[in-house]
Chain A
Amino acid sequence: MRILIVEDDAALARGIVSLLRAAGHAVDHVAGGEEALSVSATEPYSLVILDVGLPDIDGFQVLARLRARGDQAQVLMLTARDGLDDRVRGLDLGADDYLRKPFEVEELEARVRALGRRRGGDAAPEIVIGTMTVNRSTGRVEVAGRAIELRRREWSVLEALAARAGQIVTRETLQAEVFGFDDPVGSNALEVNVTRLRSKLAPDGPAIRTVRGVGYMLDRS
């Protein structure tokens, strides 16, 4: 899933980025509120991890403006402040979740996974498509009882397609969800990943169809 981290502390941002990349997400980082707004206007983030204390405009304002322009991305607020007020205010403004610094790493990961599931309107950790089971909490994929080893990008592609199984996912959407903007992306990187994924799911897993000129679709059956 494509995640934007808005955090002004460079060291913390580096840590969260490494953590979430290791979990197979495409992660971008910005340090300021205005920058976050301009980046999220063009990139389809599924989740924004938003620090409240930002140097230019605070996280609440960023959130309010995101929601005002109809951005549906899940928002996880991070704050160093203690007050209940902050939590209530954040949730009222349309935040989906809230985490206080210093947080447990496992908790951050679990919340990110939970928010990712909620995005597809389906909060269950497991998606079952035919013979394939995708566990979004553990990142395990099984086809007919056989565990499939996936690389980070392959996992991202599969997660994006599985959440919308039976629907066409455009090439642009998939590209944006799988790669962060500072990932070095070759012109055919997406194709390479889709092809590799396709061969790993074969022969008994669901097929990934290419819809020429449009995008890809994961078969439901």
Chain B
Amino acid sequence: MSGGTSRAISLRYRLLLAMFGPLAVLALVLGLLGWVLISDVVRRTNDRVLGGALGAIAETVQVERGEVTLDLPPAAFGMLENSERDNVYYRIAVGGALLTGYADLPAPDPPTLSSEEPRFRFAQFRGQRIRIAEIRRNLPRIDAPVVVQVAETLQNRNSLRDKLMIALLIGECVLVGIVLLLIRPALGWSLRPLSDLRGVIEARDTRAAPDLSPLRTGPLPSELRPLSRSFDRLLARLDDATTGMRRFTADASHQMRTPLSVLKVQVALARRGRSDRERSEALHEIEDATDRLERLLTQLLTLARADEAGELPPDHEIDLKELSQHVISRRIRQAIEAEVELLLECGEGPFRIKGHRTLVFEMLSNLVDNAIRYNRRGGTAQIELFADPGAIRLVVSDTGPGIATDQRELAMSRFVRLQGERGPSGSGLGLAIVRSSAERMGAQLELGDADPGLRVTVTFTVD
């Protein structure tokens, strides 16, 4: 595409433009060459006839008793007769004296004339252009050269030349016209593989569940193969994305079903409970299941937000120190219940980054939640901030069991819970949210050892 907002030119028009210019120039050049060539040929053939007539007349010039005589042969003039009724003029002069003919026919300069070859030239005579053939004859005992001239007007020559030129021009026009007319069918024929390709593609999206396998086209022209390959690559990426999405939805619904089942069972137990203890136990379970569902829902929404395609809302100035304090105040109750000490360590600021506040908040919130949840009683969960040149590092470390090196990639996948159901309750989405949010903001995420425990480092670049 040539681009921008200007409307694209149709292929037919492009071809028309691309071909018409060069064709027109070519036709013009051919016309000019034709003109030169045709004029030359017409002049030569007519000159030959004129020369023949001149020869025939010159032959009859004789010396009879010291006098120059001639006998004009009618056949010589017959040769010059034509359909255009050109006027024929002649002049025979001995030296400067006219022997016969038209005295005012432009006289040549005798010394320059040859006696072997007739000379031809154009001249103006009685308001008309004429062609003169002239020759000199040297007669015995006559001192002065005899000059014989035959001339004709140019109607025949011009009309012949014009006819040939018109034929040439008509030929050229027909050729250019046919080429231009053929563009449309030729284009249609050339583009048929493209419309076949389009047919294959359109057949796809009529189906309810989109088929994202590579296109099954017949053999394609080499020009279309890159297009079909890029389309297949796009399909493959789309397939990955939808498969991921489908798996995510399936996993998400799977995750919701279990706490929902718990709710149903415990509600039934609460309703039937015979003692206060049974009922309060059931209510406790209901509370837990509701918390689980709520947390799952919040995390799913967060993840969906972090995954959301398209532009992020405008960046905010975020003070990581202030945000960390905010997260800690929100998590402190959870930390006290888990008997985990929650700390914030930061040196000299400022710790300002540009980013999406909700994403950073959710990321930090999930990291702190993990640090409390996967910890031991009496352990610590610590947020540290470091301002490096060009970057700000956010480090969250805990004193829990940590994650083995070969498990770290897996730990960031969705719904993966390394400790299974026997570990602390969770949805398996925390680190997935952290990863998605970091990717979204172009921050680097690194899982490491806190010795013992897990140390998660998020590096934000700042300018």
> Measuring CB to CB, which residues of chain A are less than 8 angstroms from any residue of chain B?
8-12, 14-16, 18-19, 22, 31, 53, 55, 80-82, 100-106, 108
Cβ A105 vs Cβ B265 within 8 A: yes
Query: 8 Å CB contacts to A: which residues of B251-282?
Result: 253-255, 257-269, 272, 278, 282
Most chain A CB within 10 A, of B254, B262, B269, B272, is at: B262
Complex CA–CA separation, A106 to B272 (angstroms): 12
Closest A residue to B266 by beta carbon equals: A15
Cβ A12 vs Cβ B261 within 8 A: yes
State how many angstroms separate the Cβ of B257 from the closest Cβ of chain A: 4
Q: Contact partner of A103 among B254, B259, B264, B422, CB < 8 A? A: B264
B187 within 8 A of A: no
Cβ A101 vs Cβ B258 within 8 A: yes
State how many angstroms separate the Cβ of A35 from the closest Cβ of chain B: 11
State how many angstroms separate the Cβ of A20 from the closest Cβ of chain B: 10
22 contacts between A and B (CB under 8 A): A8-B420, A9-B421, A10-B421, A11-B289, A12-B261, A12-B262, A15-B266, A15-B285, A16-B265, A18-B265, A18-B269, A81-B254, A82-B253, A101-B257, A101-B258, A101-B260, A102-B261, A102-B263, A103-B264, A104-B264, A105-B267, A106-B268
Contacts across chains A and B counted by CB atoms under 8 Å: 68
Cβ A15 vs Cβ B262 within 8 A: yes
Closest B residue to A12 by beta carbon equals: B262
B288 within 8 A of A: yes
State how many angstroms separate the Cβ of A79 from the closest Cβ of chain B: 9
| Other contacts beyond A80-B253, A80-B254, A101-B257: 14, CB < 8 A | A10-B421, A11-B262, A11-B292, A12-B261, A12-B262, A53-B254, A55-B420, A81-B254, A82-B253, A100-B257, A102-B257, A102-B260, A105-B267, A106-B268
B68 within 8 A of A: no
**Do A19 and B421 form a contact, CB below 8 Å, given A81-B250, A82-B250, A82-B253?**
no
User: Dominant SS at the B interface?
Assistant: helix
Which residues does chain B contribute within 8 Å of A15, judged by CB atoms?
261-262, 265-266, 269, 285
Most chain A CB within 10 A, of B255, B261, B278, B421, is at: B261
- State the 6 A-B residue pairs at the shortest beta-carbon distance, nearest first: A15-B265, A102-B260, A105-B268, A55-B420, A80-B257, A101-B257
Which residues does chain A contribute within 8 Å of B259, judged by CB atoms?
11
Which residues does chain A contribute within 8 Å of B269, judged by CB atoms?
15, 18-19, 22
Complex CA–CA separation, A103 to B268 (angstroms): 12
Cβ B258 vs Cβ A12 within 8 A: yes
Complex CA–CA separation, A50 to B272 (angstroms): 25
State how many angstroms separate the Cβ of A165 from the closest Cβ of chain B: 30
State how many angstroms separate the Cβ of A119 from the closest Cβ of chain B: 23
Closest B residue to A22 by beta carbon equals: B272
Complex CA–CA separation, A14 to B250 (angstroms): 25
State how many angstroms separate the Cβ of A103 from the closest Cβ of chain B: 6
Interface size in chain B (residues, C-beta < 8 A): 27
Most chain B CB within 10 A, of A14, A18, A53, A106, is at: A18
Cβ B265 vs Cβ A31 within 8 A: no
Complex CA–CA separation, A86 to B401 (angstroms): 36
Which residues does chain B contribute within 8 Å of A18, judged by CB atoms?
265, 269, 278, 282
Complex CA–CA separation, A16 to B285 (angstroms): 12
Cβ B285 vs Cβ A9 within 8 A: no
Q: Contact partner of B264 among A31, A53, A100, A105, CB < 8 A? A: A105
Cβ B254 vs Cβ A19 within 8 A: no
Most chain A CB within 10 A, of B266, B288, B289, B292, is at: B266
Complex CA–CA separation, A19 to B265 (angstroms): 7
Which residues does chain B contribute within 8 Å of A53, judged by CB atoms?
254
Query: 8 Å CB contacts to A: which residues of B275-323?
Result: 278, 282, 285, 288-289, 292
Closest B residue to A83 by beta carbon equals: B250
**What sequence of 0s and 1s flags, for each residue 16-32 of chain B, a beta carbon within 8 Å of any chain A beta carbon?**
00000000000000000
Which residues does chain B contribute within 8 Å of A106, judged by CB atoms?
268
Which residues does chain B contribute within 8 Å of A102, judged by CB atoms?
257, 260-261, 263-264
Complex CA–CA separation, A170 to B260 (angstroms): 41
Complex CA–CA separation, A22 to B275 (angstroms): 13
State how many angstroms separate the Cβ of B420 from the closest Cβ of chain A: 4
Q: Contact partner of A101 among B261, B268, B282, B422, CB < 8 A? A: B261
Query: 8 Å CB contacts to A: which residues of B201-223?
Result: none
Cβ B253 vs Cβ A103 within 8 A: no
Closest A residue to B259 by beta carbon equals: A11
Which residues does chain B contribute within 8 Å of A8, judged by CB atoms?
420-421
Closest B residue to A105 by beta carbon equals: B268
Complex CA–CA separation, A108 to B264 (angstroms): 11
Q: Contact partner of A11 among B253, B255, B288, CB < 8 A? A: B288
Which residues does chain A contribute within 8 Å of B267, judged by CB atoms?
105
Which residues does chain A contribute within 8 Å of B260, judged by CB atoms?
101-102
Which residues does chain B contribute within 8 Å of A22, judged by CB atoms?
269, 272
Which residues does chain A contribute within 8 Å of B254, judged by CB atoms?
53, 80-81
Complex CA–CA separation, A104 to B263 (angstroms): 10
Cβ A12 vs Cβ B422 within 8 A: no
Closest B residue to A9 by beta carbon equals: B258
State how many angstroms separate the Cβ of A85 from the closest Cβ of chain B: 12
Complex CA–CA separation, A132 to B253 (angstroms): 48
State how many angstroms separate the Cβ of B111 from the closest Cβ of chain A: 116
Complex CA–CA separation, A102 to B420 (angstroms): 21
Complex CA–CA separation, A113 to B48 (angstroms): 126
Cβ A11 vs Cβ B272 within 8 A: no
Complex CA–CA separation, A80 to B420 (angstroms): 16
Complex CA–CA separation, A18 to B262 (angstroms): 12
Complex CA–CA separation, A205 to B262 (angstroms): 41
Query: 8 Å CB contacts to A: which residues of B113-161?
Result: none
State how many angstroms separate the Cβ of A27 from the closest Cβ of chain B: 13
Cβ B262 vs Cβ A9 within 8 A: yes
Closest B residue to A81 by beta carbon equals: B254
State how many angstroms separate the Cβ of A11 from the closest Cβ of chain B: 5
Closest A residue to B265 by beta carbon equals: A15
Cβ A14 vs Cβ B257 within 8 A: no
Which residues does chain A contribute within 8 Å of B268, judged by CB atoms?
19, 105-106
